[in-house]
């Protein structure tokens, strides 16, 4: 996919949230699986237990439940990000800049479901899930940038993200606006709410689907010491969260300072812009209390920047935008 001209940034002064603490979760033995096309941003499991990832080159790749025999099934023509399987077996893919796509896993045919939302092109669709009634919810990280320029959204520090709903009849409704880099979204096990992540806001929140709070947003886990990315719901109801990189004090100071400084940073070559700290970090949160109840944290010479994760076969599988591998560890208890 060709990268167009670098878009301008329009920064504002912004006070980053405080940095809280999480338990010191242990390291674990990590096994790496090479992925054709590189950097599998998300990983999901189909109804037969096979693993599916979206690669940097646009490939949609299927692997056996043990991670062997990777096979390219389709190519989106963009950058596949968050994914989910629907009840009818289609693979929904958030793609930047193409929007929300549906992939026929038998033929590889790619169909565009949503490429316009809330009055503008959907160029940074981030993550997607389906609820039991067939309604699809998907996040938009920012309306101003594609994934190739995601640093621009962080430097701007504007709440340009959103949570959208796609009805079975094709109607698209924006249900939450003003989010700071909206990212992962997953339903609670009981279906009462969606949990969604704001990467720059460093928090997890609930969007209630049922009960007296239906349609409202309440906090679940705030002041996280890292940038949360994709989410998935574990077999016991835990909410697994990929922590792509620790909070960056330099970036926080820049956000609170003069916007002109961030405009200057944005004009620097990418190699000179602030870099994420490489780490392998995943945390499971209690869906009711928001307490961190399990996890893994470590460094690895070949793997970092965990962006997607899923439980399968007694393992925690992890995708990454920092390595051409899918990684797995024994499922933390």
Strand partners, 217: 207
| 39 domain residue, yes or no | yes
| 239 domain residue, yes or no | yes
- Ranges in the chain, pLDDT < 50: 1-2
Which residues neighbour 275 within 8 Å (Cβ) at sequence distance 6 or greater?
none
Can you give the CATH number for the domain in which 123 is found? 2.120.10.30
Q: Is 217 exposed, middle or buried (0-12, 13-18, 19+ CB in 10 A)?
A: middle
Specify the pLDDT at position 333.
Answer: 81
Please state, in angstroms and rounded to a whole number, the distance separating the CA atoms of residues 22 and 71. 38
| 10 domain residue, yes or no | no
Domain of 101 in residue numbering reads as 30-246+275-330
Residue 102: cis peptide before it, omega within 30 degrees of 0: no
Of 181, 207, 185, 188, the C-alpha closest to 196 is 185
| CA angle 121–122–127, rounded 5-degree value | 175
| 4 domain residue, yes or no | no
Please state, in angstroms and rounded to a whole number, the distance separating the CA atoms of residues 200 and 165. 22
| 255 domain residue, yes or no | no
Specify the pLDDT at position 2.
Answer: 47
Specify the pLDDT at position 5.
Answer: 75
Of 230, 237, 234, the C-alpha closest to 281 is 230
What is the domain count for the chain? 1
Pairing relation of β-strands 91-96 and 79-85? antiparallel
| 20 domain residue, yes or no | no
The secondary structure of residue 14, as a DSSP letter, is: -
Give tens-digit pLDDT for 194-249.
999 999 999 999 999 999 999 999 999 999 999 999 999 999 999 999 999 999 99
| 260 domain residue, yes or no | no
| 305 domain residue, yes or no | yes
């Amino acid at each position: 996919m060709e990268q167009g001209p670098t878009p301008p940034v329009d920064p504002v002064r912004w006070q980053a949230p405080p940095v809280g603490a999480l338990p010191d979760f242990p390291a674990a033995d990590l096994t790496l699986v090479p992925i054709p096309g590189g950097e599998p941003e998300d990983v999901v499991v189909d109804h037969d237990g096979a693993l599916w990832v979206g690669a940097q080159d646009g490939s949609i790749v299927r692997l056996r439940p043990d991670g062997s025999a990777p096979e390219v099934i389709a190519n989106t023509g963009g950058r596949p990000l968050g994914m989910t399987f629907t009840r009818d077996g289609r693979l929904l893919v958030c793609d930047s800049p193409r929007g929300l796509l549906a992939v026929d896993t038998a033929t590889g045919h790619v169909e565009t479901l949503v490429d316009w939302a809330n009055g503008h092109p959907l160029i940074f669709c981030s993550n997607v899930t389906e609820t039991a009634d067939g309604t699809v919810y998907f996040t938009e990280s920012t309306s101003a940038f594609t994934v190739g320029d995601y640093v621009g959204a962080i430097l701007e520090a504007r709440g340009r993200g959103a949570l959208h709903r796609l009805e079975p009849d094709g109607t698209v409704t924006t249900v939450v606006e003003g989010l700071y880099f909206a990212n992962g979204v997953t339903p609670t096990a009981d279906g009462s709410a969606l949990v969604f992540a704001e990467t720059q806001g460093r928090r997890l929140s609930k969007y209630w689907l049922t009960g007296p709070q239906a349609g409202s947003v309440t906090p679940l886990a705030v002041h996280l010491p890292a940038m949360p990315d994709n989410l998935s719901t574990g077999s016991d109801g835990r909410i697994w969260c990929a922590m792509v990189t620790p909070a960056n004090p330099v970036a926080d100071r820049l956000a609170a300072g003069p916007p002109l400084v961030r405009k200057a940073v944005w004009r620097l070559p990418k190699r000179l812009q602030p870099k994420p700290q490489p780490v392998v970090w995943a945390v499971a949160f209690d869906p009711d209390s928001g307490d961190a109840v399990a996890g893994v944290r470590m460094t690895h010479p070949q793997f970092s920047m965990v962006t997607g994760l899923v439980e399968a076969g007694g393992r925690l599988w992890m995708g990454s935008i920092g390595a051409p591998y899918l990684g797995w560890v024994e499922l933390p208890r």
